[in-house]
Amino acid sequence: MMDTAHLRILRPFPHVLAFYDGRVAGKRFAPGPNWVDDGALSLGIASYAIVDGTQALVYDTHVSRAHAERVRATLDSMGVTRITVVLSHWHLDHVAGTEVFADCTIIASQRTAAHLETHRAAIEAGSHHGLPAINPLIAPTHTFTGRAHIHVGGLHIDLIEAHIHSDDATVIWLAHDRLLLAGDTLEDCVTYVGEPDQLAAHLADLDRLAALQPLHILPNHGDPARIAAGGYGPGLIAATQDYIGKLIAARTDPALRAAPLADWIAPHLAADTLVWFPPYQAVHANNLARILALS
């Protein structure tokens, strides 16, 4: 059973809970390289619940069954009797707890469902990005393309497909609050580049997110204090676009490649748009390596 002793329940909005774990000095799931620590807990990760009365939407099922059980137990204690799960994308740290919600409606984009089915055997065996295995992996029960509208109690919620970070992203838009739950499409302090050859597509879809004119943004990976205080402002989108633009430019600019991450994002740190977190220097180094490896 994975340790959930450091899981914090934050409430950035009256009807939104963030289940946040990670960024705990000296605390690791396992001593060697593994996807739980290296891609999630070391950077901090949140799954979210949107609650209205006896209904809730759970946005991602966290990094383990144990974490998902904590999410569900919390909602049960609040009197929630109907849960809908929405998966932000197919990466392991977002789908690891699906078994706990096997009796619920699970919604994902068609691309997410396809990726999960393609890699199901490896994910359940623990050979896709290594251990721990996710077994069983529960498939989405409903899929959509483009955009879908659902209700949670009296809340009107839009699911919007995007090609940012991965080609199957789903973000959640609560127009009444001008609140965007961004999954991994936005991250503080820099995006994790898994598709270095698709950065132009990412920039185009970041424009689509900006066109929503969000006032509040809740990413899955970010600073817990900022999330607890109501999230990030719209500048997080512009900061991400700026960083991706610099990654593209770095392929032909040796001076930019040599500059430290703090210099790349200095204006956004000074404006308090981003919160400096040193482990993102390793993410940045990995991003640069991926960009420079393109033929």
Question: Given this model, what pLDDT does residue 238 score?
Answer: 98
Band of residue 67 on the pLDDT scale cut at 50, 70, 90: very high
Tokens of 249: 């430019």
Positive or negative CA dihedral for 186, 189, 194, 199? positive
| Backbone φ and ψ of 139, nearest 5° | -75, 155
Q: Nearest to residue 49, comparing CAs of 113, 117, 100, 118? A: 100
Question: Given this model, what pLDDT does residue 249 score?
Answer: 96
SS3 category, 244: helix
Question: Given this model, what pLDDT does residue 10 score?
Answer: 98
Which residue type is seen at 13?
Answer: F
The answer to whether residue 239 scores a pLDDT higher than 90 is yes
Alpha carbons 170 and 152: distance in angstroms, whole number? 17
pTM score, whole prediction? 0.96
- State percent of the chain over pLDDT 90: 94
The answer to whether residue 39 scores a pLDDT higher than 90 is no
Question: Given this model, what pLDDT does residue 1 score?
Answer: 67
The topology under which CATH files domain 8-292 is Metallo-beta-lactamase; Chain A (3.60.15)
The answer to whether residue 267 scores a pLDDT higher than 70 is yes
Question: Given this model, what pLDDT does residue 295 score?
Answer: 62
The answer to whether residue 13 scores a pLDDT higher than 80 is yes
Question: Given this model, what pLDDT does residue 32 score?
Answer: 85
* Angle of the 280-292 helix axis to the 235-250 helix axis, nearest 10: 40
- State percent of the chain over pLDDT 70: 99
Average pLDDT score over residue span 197-219: 97
Q: Nearest to residue 247, comparing CAs of 236, 259, 235, 237? A: 259
Tokens of 110: 């068609």
Sheet holding 82-86, edge to edge: 8-13, 16-21, 45-52, 55-59, 82-86, 105-109, 142-144
Average pLDDT score over residue span 144-170: 97
Task: Please state the domain extents for the chain.
Answer: 8-292
Asked if 269 contacts 174 with a C-beta cutoff of 8 angstroms, the reply is no
Average pLDDT score over residue span 44-69: 98
Asked if 166 contacts 198 with a C-beta cutoff of 8 angstroms, the reply is no
Q: Nearest to residue 270, comparing CAs of 184, 182, 189? A: 189
How far apart are the two ends of the chain, measured CA to CA in Å?
43
pLDDT digits (tens, 9 = 90+) for 92-126: 999 999 999 999 999 999 999 999 999 999 999 99
Return the residue matching tokens 């359940």.
Answer: 124
Question: pLDDT averaged over the chain?
Answer: 96
The answer to whether residue 164 scores a pLDDT higher than 80 is yes
The answer to whether residue 229 scores a pLDDT higher than 90 is yes
Average pLDDT score over residue span 278-290: 96
Question: Given this model, what pLDDT does residue 26 score?
Answer: 87
Band of residue 2 on the pLDDT scale cut at 50, 70, 90: confident
